[in-house]
Structure 1
């Protein structure tokens, strides 16, 4: 008897979910990286408790991926890709209590990367 095919395909990276290709200047300097980390943290802290998706919480996956990035360059690349995917700049004031803003972020991410 042959081996059965796996029920779920395992993907070992976020390639294909987040565009890591480099643009003209994808890196943040250290001050910008601090701002990006703050914005990223606010967005994740807002959406993580709202995600009930199984088998995993996608906002938590984003947070853990950022937290486990080993270098500032990796964190910069990840932040740049994620914030670009949800159309947020590091200098933008984001009112996450505004349902329209919340829905725009959710839609941008869902369109690109299938967040809930």
Structure 2
């Protein structure tokens, strides 16, 4: 009986964890409607949260810092936000292909 209770507790914990992770991803999708060109990096992070990855960092031809942040929206999408001198200049949504072919000879 104790084992069954432990198993049910474990399954419930896994289910709740999946719901929370999915909610974070969908919240990003929802909040992207509020993102506007010209916002500062801090404003965007405040809006979308700090669960991002810096996907690129460099300087443009004029020496201005350029940084691209990546946010997951759901299992198959990622938003890329490009900041120049700490100001949002552009963003796009990319479809992430989860299924890749490792051996190109398979396609022939």
Which structure is larger by alpha-carbon Rg, 1 or 2?
A: 2
Q: Report if TM-score (shorter chain) is over 0.5.
A: no
Whose helix proportion is higher, 1 or 2? 1
Task: Compute the TM-score of the two structures, normalised by the length of structure 1.
Answer: 0.24
Between 1 and 2, higher relative CO (CA 8 Å, sep ≥ 6) is seen in: 1
Whose strand proportion is higher, 1 or 2? 2
